[in-house]
Each structure stands twice: as C-alpha cells, then as structure tokens.
Chain A
C-alpha cells in the first residue's frame, strides 16, 4: 500500500530528522508508531500523508512513486487516507457536524445523502449533543473525537492518527481503540502515533519505534 525505501528528511539546511527509513504499510495492517518527543513521528506521518516530500529515498503510495506525482494527482491519493492531527485542525467557523461532513462536501456529495451518516457517526463518538457547537467551545477530548470522526467519515483505506487518545479519558480511549481495531479488521490499515504504552500493550500489533531519526520495527 505504502512503501518507504531509504527515506531521509531534513528541514532546510538542518540535520536529518529521518534517516534511511525503510518500511511498508501493508493492506489491512495495524501498527503503532512511537518514540520520544522530537523523534520525527509527526514528520513521518506527514510523509505518509503526502503533505511533504522526502529529501532522499523513495516513497511509493498506492502504486505511485510520489516523486513523480503531479500536483493534481495528490488529492485523489489523499482521499484514500484519513488523518487525525494532534492539534485537531478543526475549522472554528463550522459546527462539529459541518467539520465532520467537510470531506464529503469536498467530494461533491449532497447533504441529504450524507446527513444521517454524519449524525450517526457523531452520536457514536459521543458528540450527538454537540453537533451544533463550534469547536472553540468544545473540550480537548471533544475536539479529538470530532477530528477522528472527520477522518473516518470517508471510510479511508489507510487511517493515520497522531496521538488520537491524548486528550480523551481512559474509557473513551478504549472505545476509540476498539473502533480502530474494528476498522482494521474490516480492511482499513491503521497507523497510530502514540506515546501511550498502555494503549500499545492492549493490542498485539507491529511497533515502529523512531529514535534519533532511525526506525526500528518490532513485529507482533
């Protein structure tokens, strides 16, 4: 699905934040991405999401060499990937419902076609009563859940989540993890970047550990 070969990344003239990173994300796989703060987890997620290009090495996404992708091809590939950012990236002028429905609007779907799906997903993540609310009045956990719902609404082939349980209570963290596992069981590949050892211990999944810009992989 996605393959990295000897990928390196540096910002400007700075040191390499990722060095000789090689791995592949297989269809229907589940993996955690972990490592100390500043190890490059978010940078690696951004590379996976095609929002950055590596300074060296090869990245292949859904059979396309990303170095040869034209700008117009990127949105089509991004639609096959859902991403949950650590800082949520919700639009403050849109309600929770509108934020979650945004990917479907971008796809050109009519609201009458997606309304019930969005409402149902919001109810499931516990935001049924908060769907009319603007993000600035949501708590951190609620924003997190809205961001996850937005990433899931288009049923992506690959789900990338950056600290998805960082702002939620343990019980909701359990529910979110179970959702990720179910999504994976039904065919979605999942990459969860997290510091939460407790979360990782609940699932026998591949662990990708970043340290000093290098990646070590521990298969389950």
Chain B
C-alpha cells in the first residue's frame, strides 16, 4: 500500500486531483481489489478496459537461444539414437530367433568305417534318438537327399557306395526344455560306431557373441550420441547465457534466485529438446517403415534376400518403436536437465 498511498499523496501535492476525490476513488476501488485478490478471481474484471496487454513475453527471449540450429542438431542426434535403437532391436530379435531355431534341431552324423553295417548303425541311432524325451521326429536323410546335398560339389549321378560319405540323421526337437542334448551326445559317441552329434552349439555361440557385441556396440553408440547432444546443449546454453547477460543481471537485481533463472532457460531448452526429439523420432520411424516395406517387397534392393535369410525379414518390432518413444523422452529430459545444469554452474561462477 505504501506506493499507492505515496502516489495518491503526491497527486494531491501536485494539485492534479482533489484529495477527497482521489481518496474516494481509491476507497471505492480497494474493496473490489481486495475481494478479487482473496478469491483469486476477477482478474478480467479488474483489467482496465481497453488496456490491450499482450500475453507476457518470455523473460528469456526465445530468439536469443540458438533455437533453429540446436533443434536441428538435437533432431539429428535423436534420429541417430532412434536408428541405433531400431537396429539393436532388430539384431536382438533375430539372434533370439536363431537361438530358438537351432535348439529345435540336432543332427547325428555317422561316418563310414571298415566292416560297419551303415544301415544297422543308422537304425540304432534312430532308435536311440527316438527314446529321448522331447524329441518330435527322427529321420535319416535318404540317398537321394544326400546326393542332392553333394551335387553342387561332386556333380550329379553320384554312387554313394563308392565313396565314404557320412550319413546324416535329422532329429527334430519338440520340447527343448526337456530334451537331453548332452545325454544323447554321450550315447551316440558310445553306442554308434563312427557316430557324433552336432547340436549346432558352435553356431549358436558365435551368433550369440556377434549379437551381443552388436548390442553392446549399439548401446555404446547410443551413449556417445546422447553425450554429444548433451555437450552441444551445454555449449548452446553457455552461448545463450552470454547472449542474455543483461537479462541475467536484471533478474538478479530484481531478486530472482538462481533456480528461477535456471527454470526460465530450461523452459526454452525443454521445448527445443521435445521438438528436436519428436522430429528425429518421427523421421527414424518413417525410415523403419520404408525399409520394412522395401525389404518385404524385395523391390530390387541389393542384398534383400540375404537380409531376409539372416534376419527373417527386416522388421522393427514393438520394442523398437517403444525404444523410439523412450529416446524422445530421454532426449527431452536430457536437453532440459543439461541446460539447467549449465545455467546453474554458470551462475555459481558469477560473483
């Protein structure tokens, strides 16, 4: 009330208004004002007619923050992060699929030896495998199938009796959880002359190692991308602070706390991060969809068949798209938090 009273008194002293009139007007206005203040309403009613005030401008001018360039940087970083997440999810899903397929089939191989009746050994091996729990079907490759397998290397019209060609028995596993691979391996080695079991574990281990290495590499790339983005935001925040030195000074002069100033800057960077994150994420999703479509159609993309054979079709699953959403969220939060940290550390250095 001090300022208002001083203004009223000064008006009287200046002879601009009769004291009684000024006081009377104030007295009649004050109860309305006080009521409005108490109930938190009436802001519109209290607004002088025709004041035409615009919505309050941001304390930190948006154009002073390196907006467009930094938004583009954040969008590119988000895009790269989303692509990395998508690729990792594709590899992870493919590796899981490979592992699943491989444990569902093992192969018994019987090498020919002097004085050994191959057919008898094959029958023994089939009986041995069929006696194991979890086994679905057991089938020896016919002579025709064996010839077909060897045809690319040895040519057609092959006489298997004249060559020491190993015979293969496919064992399809219905329930990998109860199928005793190790027991069957030991039994085949002990009871079948020239017999051995290939459970494809060497392949599984190599594929798993490769997949794990790629996932770790992807996570490392993701961390580097996010770290680069955080550094970009720190530099941009410092530039914004330097460009808004006057704003920061004035805010300090009017009693603003560092948290208030940091919040004003953070607000800009939060929106900037959200815009950049969404732009990068949406573009990455479009790329995923285009690639999925292209590989599904196989429309002349070199290596599409190989990719299909390796990955079972290029498809970013739900996990990949959820990863994109997570990246947008992380990018937004990281941008805001990094700018806040940069502002606070800058203000802490100020005297």
Do A and B originate from a single complex?
yes
Interfacial residues, chain A to chain B (CB-CB below 8 A): 49, 51-53, 71-72, 75-76, 78-79, 83, 85, 89-91, 93-95, 97-98, 101-103, 105-107, 110-113, 115-117, 119-121, 124, 131-132, 150, 152-155, 174-175, 178-179, 182-183, 185-188
The reply to whether A98 and B351 form a contact with Cβ atoms under 8 Å apart is no
A91 and B10 in contact, given A79-B255, A106-B255, A112-B44 (Cβ under 8 angstroms): no
The reply to whether B54 and A95 form a contact with Cβ atoms under 8 Å apart is yes
The reply to whether B246 and A91 form a contact with Cβ atoms under 8 Å apart is yes
The reply to whether A103 and B44 form a contact with Cβ atoms under 8 Å apart is no
Q: Which of B4, B54, B253 has the most CB of A within 10 A?
A: B253
A175 and B2 in contact, given A75-B256, A116-B47, A116-B48 (Cβ under 8 angstroms): no
The reply to whether A112 and B3 form a contact with Cβ atoms under 8 Å apart is no
| Complex contacts, A178 vs chain B, CB 8 Å | 10, 13-14
A116 and B46 in contact, given A182-B5, A186-B5, A187-B2 (Cβ under 8 angstroms): yes
Taking A103-B255, A185-B6 as given, write out 18 further A-B residue pairs in contact, using a Cβ cutoff of 8 Å, ordered by the A residue number: A51-B252, A78-B255, A79-B254, A89-B246, A91-B246, A95-B57, A105-B59, A106-B256, A112-B43, A115-B51, A132-B52, A132-B54, A153-B3, A175-B14, A178-B10, A178-B14, A182-B10, A185-B9
Interface residues of B in 1-38 (CB under 8 A from A): 1-7, 9-11, 13-14, 33, 36-37
B258 within 8 A of A: yes
Candidates B11, B36, B53, B253; contact of A51 at CB < 8 Å:
B253
| Complex contacts, B43 vs chain A, CB 8 Å | 110-113, 115
The reply to whether A115 and B46 form a contact with Cβ atoms under 8 Å apart is yes
A76 and B54 in contact, given A93-B61, A178-B10 (Cβ under 8 angstroms): no
B231 within 8 A of A: no
| Complex contacts, B11 vs chain A, CB 8 Å | 124
The reply to whether B3 and A183 form a contact with Cβ atoms under 8 Å apart is yes
The reply to whether A76 and B255 form a contact with Cβ atoms under 8 Å apart is yes
Q: Number of B residues whose C-beta is below 8 Å from A?
A: 46
In the assembled complex, the CB of B334 is this many whole angstroms from the nearest CB of chain A, namely 26
A124 and B46 in contact, given A75-B257, A97-B53 (Cβ under 8 angstroms): no
Interface pairs (24), CB distance under 8 Å = A49-B253, A51-B252, A71-B258, A75-B256, A83-B253, A91-B247, A95-B57, A97-B53, A98-B56, A102-B59, A110-B43, A111-B56, A112-B43, A112-B46, A115-B46, A115-B53, A116-B46, A116-B47, A120-B4, A120-B7, A150-B254, A154-B254, A178-B13, A182-B10
Cα A85 to Cα B252 in complex, Å, equals: 13
Cα A94 to Cα B59 in complex, Å, equals: 8
In the assembled complex, the CB of B3 is this many whole angstroms from the nearest CB of chain A, namely 5
In the assembled complex, the CB of A180 is this many whole angstroms from the nearest CB of chain B, namely 8
The reply to whether B61 and A155 form a contact with Cβ atoms under 8 Å apart is no
Candidates B10, B47, B56, B256; contact of A175 at CB < 8 Å:
B10
Q: Which of B4, B7, B48, B348 has the most CB of A within 10 A?
A: B7
B154 within 8 A of A: no
B interface majority secondary structure: helix
Residue of chain B at shortest CB distance from A104: B254
| Complex contacts, A119 vs chain B, CB 8 Å | 48, 51
| Complex contacts, B9 vs chain A, CB 8 Å | 182, 185
In the assembled complex, the CB of A152 is this many whole angstroms from the nearest CB of chain B, namely 5
| Complex contacts, B260 vs chain A, CB 8 Å | 106
Q: Which of B42, B44, B257 has the most CB of A within 10 A?
A: B257
B102 within 8 A of A: no
Cα A178 to Cα B4 in complex, Å, equals: 13
Cα A71 to Cα B42 in complex, Å, equals: 38
| Complex contacts, A76 vs chain B, CB 8 Å | 255
Residue of chain A at shortest CB distance from B58: A93
Q: Which of A85, A95, A102, A117 has the most CB of B within 10 A?
A: A102
In the assembled complex, the CB of A154 is this many whole angstroms from the nearest CB of chain B, namely 8
B202 within 8 A of A: no
Residue of chain A at shortest CB distance from B64: A93
Residue of chain B at shortest CB distance from A157: B2
Interface residues of B in 230-259 (CB under 8 A from A): 246-247, 249-258
Q: Which of A94, A95, A112, A186 has the most CB of B within 10 A?
A: A112
| Complex contacts, B13 vs chain A, CB 8 Å | 178, 182
| Complex contacts, A97 vs chain B, CB 8 Å | 53
In the assembled complex, the CB of A81 is this many whole angstroms from the nearest CB of chain B, namely 8
Cα A76 to Cα B255 in complex, Å, equals: 6
In the assembled complex, the CB of A179 is this many whole angstroms from the nearest CB of chain B, namely 5
| Complex contacts, B47 vs chain A, CB 8 Å | 112, 115-116
Cα A110 to Cα B7 in complex, Å, equals: 23
Q: Which of A72, A116, A132, A152 has the most CB of B within 10 A?
A: A116
